[in-house]
Amino acid sequence: MKRRDFIRTGCLTCIGGTAITLALQGCSSAYYAKQIGLKQNNLLVKKSEFIEVKKDGKQNMRNVIVAKYEKLGFPIALFRLGEDQYSAIYLECTHQGNEVQPHGNYLVCEGHGSEFDNKGKVTQGPAEKALRTFNVKTDEEYIYITLA
């Protein structure tokens, strides 16, 4: 292989690798809710947190957001399952306790590769137990995640 071909091939490989890395980062970057609060035994999240306003002003509904409350240890993924239907899933892996990350409509543990659906059920091991879930209620404005 000539030097010029070697350099060209190497550069294309680097660009391809960078693109794949950025794509994977894009998949795992979850939106963290900013408007959350605690009322009695409930973590409150504003429903409007699911609305994503794009640069062109158009709105899009997120299918998952993450709520972080320091005293819990791990965050909670809040999936929008349908019109006013949500699941709240504690992001501690049941395998060995690593943090699970939302990827689109499912959850992945980067510790050893376990995967879970948007209701916390195992879809791929080594984890065998479902993730902890919380009861969810709603009103006009808020989603109430019951922590007990």
Residues that bind ligand FES (CB under 6 A): 93, 95-98, 109, 111-114, 126-127
Q: How far apart are the C-alpha atoms of 135 and 81, rounded to whole Å? A: 14
Rounded Cα distance, 79 and 39, in Å: 21
The token pair that represents 21 in the structure block: 């890395």
Q: What angle do CA 58, 60, 65 make, to 5 degrees?
A: 140
What gap in Å lies between CA 21 and CA 29, rounded to an integer? 12
Q: By C-beta, is 34 or 119 nearer to ligand FES?
A: 119
3-state secondary structure (DSSP) of residue 17? helix
Q: How far is the CB of 108 from ligand FES (least distance, A)?
A: 9
Smallest separation, CB 95 to ligand FES (Å): 3
Cβ 94 to ligand FES shortest distance, Å = 8
Cβ proximity to ligand FES: between 63 and 98 the closer is 98
**34 vs 112 by CB, closer to ligand FES:** 112
d(CA 27, CA 119): 19
In whole angstroms, the minimum distance from the beta carbon of 98 to ligand FES comes to 4
Give the nearer residue to ligand FES in terms of CB position, either 13 or 96: 96
